Amino acid sequence: MSSEKQPALPNRQTPFSEAFKAFIGTDWAPYSTELPDPLPAASYAAERRGAISARFPGERLVVPAGGLKIRSNDTDYRYRPHSAFAHLTGLGTDREPDAVLVLEPTDDGHDATLYFKPRAPRDAEEFYANARYGEMWVGQRPSLDELSRLCGIRCVAIEELDDELAKNAGDTPIRIVADADPDVTARVARIRTEAGISADPAAAEEDQVDPDAELATALSELRLIKDEYEIEQLREACARTGEAFAAVVADFPEAIRRGRGERWVEGVFGLHARHAGNAVGYDTIAASGDHACTLHWIRNDGELRSGDLILIDAGIELDSLYTADITRTLPLSGTFSEAQREVYLAVLEAQEAGFEAAVPGAKFSDVHAAAIEVIARRLADWGILPVSAEESLNAETGGQHRRWMVHGTSHHLGIDVHDCAQARRENYREGTLAPGMIITIEPGLYFKSEDLLVPERFRGIGVRIEDDVLITETGNENLSAGLPRTPDDVEAWMKDILAP
Ligand code: GLY
Ligand code: MN
Ligand code: MN
């Protein structure tokens, strides 16, 4: 019961003797009978399940965690559960491969059951011979009672899932988070076929919505407004990320000295991410000099040169899986050159305009509109734009400014770095900002070294400033304000770190 079958590698296996099999299960101290404390997120997850239950009365809702994914041969990627599963169970880190949450309809809502593979007894073959799930290989995994106590959800062995999925299939509509576990999705498809239900969007009537896409949308939109636990987690993720940025700056001299300094920066940030949290929330961008103009520069194999800027876009994902997403563009020497400062100040001005627009009742797209207007005007002031700022800002006939900032200014942030990705356009890009939403504000300007339209003094300079912003009742709160943003504050902060 996993998304990917691990290939057997008989060329390396040593058969177990009968003597070993009889011996291995003997003389172990019993497992602790003490149950763990409930997860801090458990009560919030229950409320989230309540909200999704109210949205789909009478329907069976299936939310798989997903299985392990093969990296090569018999080694897997580090496991991360599907975000919808994490959100509805409160589980984070590497919990729990192959589990499936089922919300079974009742007369007045749904009953939640978590199907998973509990730890095997010590005399079972899995204990010693299964490198993916066995206790000798991956450590002690929870029992049914332990996971049930952690999540506050009834837990049942995964072997019982198939019967549950197929129960009254003809009478109980079923929806599944279809991209989490291809194996469970295929089984649900078979159950639908056998029950004579078509859920194939291609075969559906023109006005019929794909039921699984509708569930994905509802689960994404459920995350648009964060509850107090999520806000606290994102606040914490930003604080830890700020500390990691400071540690990276402290190591700039070492990164320059060693060569291939972008990798060193990535590594120092990654060390702090693994130490303070679960991991990085996305691949760190450590882009010095002209590399900063490559938006997703994650190769990070460049040198650091003292006169250059380095753009660092990085975030710590906590054990709960909530992640920060912060960018700072820093002078490696500790001081901005005149040209670097000029570009930086334009981006900062654009970000300030974004902050002013990010208030409850405004449109999500107002934040980008405010920031990009500043970008277009500065490009026009510098004589870089081939048309006026007004002409460029006409979305239908212009857009020339986008050559130097082709990305959007904001996205929702949460358990995924690009959170709420299946929310409908009218609730996302065209949606209205409301208290409890957390978005990034991240304008930039990217002047590639080969761009002949750009004055020579600006070529090879890329700047982005990215903060994580909570929409409040009265305006907004910058959760990443612990990191300096103005050039003067950046220089003073770096000086304190590098020459205390
Ligand atoms: N680091 C990805 C982003 O800023 O959206
Ligand atoms: Mn971002
Ligand atoms: Mn980012």
* pLDDT per residue as tens digits for the range 274-308: 999 999 999 999 999 999 999 999 999 999 999 99
Task: Compute the mean pLDDT over every residue in the chain, rounded to the nearest whole number.
Answer: 95
Say yes or no to pLDDT of 206 above 80: no
Tell me, what's the pLDDT at 2?
Answer: 52
Say yes or no to pLDDT of 456 above 70: yes
| Count of CA atoms in the C-beta half-sphere (13 A) of 216 | 16
Please tell me the distance between residue 440's alpha carbon and the centre of ligand 2 in angstroms: 6
- Output the CA torsion sign for 414, 416, 417, 418: negative
Please tell me the distance between residue 343's alpha carbon and the centre of ligand 1 in angstroms: 20
- Please state, in angstroms and as integers, the Cα–Cα distance from residue 145 to each residue in 35, 157, 195, 370, following that order: 8, 11, 34, 53
- Residue 98 carries which side chain, given as an amino acid letter? D
CB-CB neighbours of 232 under 10 Å: 14
Q: Is the CB of 325 under 6 A from ligand 1?
A: yes
> Best substitution site from 328, 438, 466, 469 to test ligand 1's pocket, by max atoms within 8 Å of Cβ?
466
Tell me, what's the pLDDT at 12?
Answer: 80
CB-count burial class (<10 Å; 0-12, 13-18, 19+) for 250: middle
Length of the chain: 500
Please tell me the distance between residue 329's alpha carbon and the centre of ligand 1 in angstroms: 14
Tell me, what's the pLDDT at 320?
Answer: 98
Residues with CB under 5 A from ligand 3 (ion): 313, 325, 466
Tokens of 182: 């291809």
Strands 174-176, 60-64: pairing is parallel
Q: What is the DSSP string of 306-333?
A: TTSEEEEEE-EE-TT--B--EEEEEETT
State the pLDDT confidence band at 25, using cuts at 50, 70 and 90.
Answer: very high
- Do 465 and 329 form a contact (C-beta atoms < 8 A)? yes
> Best substitution site from 313, 406, 409, 416 to test ligand 1's pocket, by max atoms within 8 Å of Cβ?
313
Say yes or no to pLDDT of 39 above 70: yes
Q: Where are the domains of the chain?
A: 18-223, 228-498
Tell me, what's the pLDDT at 348?
Answer: 99
Angle (CA) 222-223-224 rounded to 5° is 95
C-alpha–C-alpha distance, residues 94 and 141, integer Å: 11
Tell me, what's the pLDDT at 195?
Answer: 85
Q: Is the CB of 313 under 6 A from ligand 1?
A: yes
For 115, which DSSP code? E
Tokens of 352: 């300030």
Tell me, what's the pLDDT at 421?
Answer: 97
Q: Do domains 18-223 and 228-498 have the same CATH topology?
A: no
State the pLDDT confidence band at 1, using cuts at 50, 70 and 90.
Answer: low
What phi and psi, each to the nearest 5 degrees, are found at residue 384? -85, -35
Say yes or no to pLDDT of 436 above 90: yes
- Do 216 and 199 form a contact (C-beta atoms < 8 A)? no
Please tell me the distance between residue 326's alpha carbon and the centre of ligand 3 in angstroms: 5
State the pLDDT confidence band at 49, using cuts at 50, 70 and 90.
Answer: very high
C-alpha–C-alpha distance, residues 432 and 345, integer Å: 29
Tell me, what's the pLDDT at 3?
Answer: 54
Nearest atom (ligand 1) to Cα of 411: 5
Bond before 18 cis per omega within 30 degrees: no
For 466, which DSSP code? B
CATH class of 228-498: alpha beta
Q: Where are the beta strands (DSSP E) in 372-466?
A: 438-441, 444-447, 461-464
The tens digit of pLDDT for each residue in 353-368 reads: 999 999 999 999 999 9
Stretch 335-359: mean pLDDT: 98
C-alpha–C-alpha distance, residues 204 and 302, integer Å: 51
Closest CA to 325 of 242, 440, 445, 490: 440
> Best substitution site from 266, 329, 412, 442 to test ligand 1's pocket, by max atoms within 8 Å of Cβ?
442
Strands 309-314, 285-288: pairing is antiparallel
The tens digit of pLDDT for each residue in 227-274 reads: 999 999 999 999 999 999 999 999 999 999 999 999 999 999 999 999
Give me the residue label for tokens 């199907």.
115
Q: Which of 13-17, 200-204, 301-305 has the highest mean pLDDT?
A: 301-305
Q: What share of the chain has pLDDT > 70, as a percent?
A: 96
C-alpha–C-alpha distance, residues 322 and 254, integer Å: 30
CB-CB neighbours of 375 under 10 Å: 26
C-alpha–C-alpha distance, residues 321 and 282, integer Å: 11
The tens digit of pLDDT for each residue in 58-112 reads: 999 999 999 999 999 989 999 999 999 999 999 999 999 999 999 999 999 999 9
Give me the residue label for tokens 């003997």.
26
What phi and psi, each to the nearest 5 degrees, are found at residue 346? -65, -40
C-alpha–C-alpha distance, residues 251 and 80, integer Å: 30
Q: Is the CB of 416 under 6 A from ligand 1?
A: no
| Count of CA atoms in the C-beta half-sphere (13 A) of 232 | 7
Tokens of 77: 């990627």
- Do 334 and 308 form a contact (C-beta atoms < 8 A)? no
Its pTM stands at: 0.96
Q: Which active-site residues does the annotation give?
A: 74, 296, 313, 325, 407, 411, 418, 442, 446, 464, 466
| Count of CA atoms in the C-beta half-sphere (13 A) of 324 | 37
C-alpha–C-alpha distance, residues 141 and 436, integer Å: 35
Please tell me the distance between residue 36's alpha carbon and the centre of ligand 3 in angstroms: 36
Stretch 414-426: mean pLDDT: 98
CATH class of 18-223: alpha beta
Tokens of 215: 């569930």
- Do 421 and 411 form a contact (C-beta atoms < 8 A)? no
Closest CA to 381 of 409, 412, 342, 336: 342
Say yes or no to pLDDT of 134 above 80: yes
User: Beta partners for 155?
Assistant: 114
Tokens of 243: 């500390």
